[in-house]
Chain A
Amino acid sequence: MRDRVWITLGLIVFLVGITYPIWFNNAAGVRAEAPVLRKPVKGPNCVAPLEYMRASHMELLTAWRDEVVRQGNRRFVAFDGRTYTMSLSKTCLDCHDNRAEFCDRCHSYAGVSPYCWDCHVDPRQARTVRAWAGRPQAEGWAR
Chain B
Amino acid sequence: MSMDRKTFLKLGGCGLAAAVAGNKLAGLVQIAGGQSAPGEKTLRASRWAMVIDTRKCQRADGCDACIRACHEAHNVPSIPDPRREIKWAWKDRFEHAFPELETSPLPGDVRERQVLLLCNHCANPPCVRVCPTRATWKRQSDGIVMMDWHRCIGCRYCVAACPYGSRSFNWFDPRPYIRNMHAEYPTRTRGVVEKCTFCEERLAEGRLPACVEACPEKALVFGDAADPNSEVSQLLREQFALRRKPELGTEPQVFYLL
Using a CB–CB distance below 8 Å, which chain A residues touch chain B?
Answer: 47-49, 52-53, 56, 59-60, 63-65, 67, 69-79, 85-86, 89-90, 93, 115, 118-123, 125-126, 129-130, 133, 137-138, 141-142
Contact = CB atoms under 8 A, between A and B. Distances in A.
Given A69-B150, A121-B75, A141-B172, A89 B184 contact: yes
A56 to B, nearest CB: 7
Contact of A49 (B31, B33, B38, B81): B33
Interface string B191-212: 0000000001000100000000
Nearest to A134: B179
Interface residues of B, number: 41
A86 B200 CA distance: 15
Contact of B35 (A49, A76, A142): A76
Interface of B: 27, 31-40, 42, 75, 79-81, 84, 139, 141, 146, 148-150, 172, 175-189, 200, 204
B34 A121 contact: no
Nearest to A70: B148
A121 B33 contact: no
A17 B183 CA distance: 48
A142 B79 CA distance: 9
A142 B81 contact: yes
B177 A137 contact: yes
Contacts of A123: 183
A137 B81 CA distance: 13
A55 to B, nearest CB: 10
Contacts of A122: 183
Contacts of A60: 31-32
A63 B185 CA distance: 19
Contact of A121 (B40, B179, B187, B204): B187
Given A79-B33, A126-B181, A138-B176, A72 B141 contact: yes
5 contacts: A89-B183, A119-B188, A121-B185, A129-B181, A133-B181
A4 to B, nearest CB: 41
Nearest to B192: A119
A121 B37 contact: no
B27 A63 contact: yes
Nearest to A118: B189
B175 A129 contact: yes
A81 to B, nearest CB: 9
Contacts of A79: 32-34
B183 A126 contact: yes
B97 to A, nearest CB: 27
Contacts of B33: 48-49, 52, 78-79
Contacts of A119: 149, 186-189
A111 to B, nearest CB: 22
B184 A90 contact: yes
B30 to A, nearest CB: 9
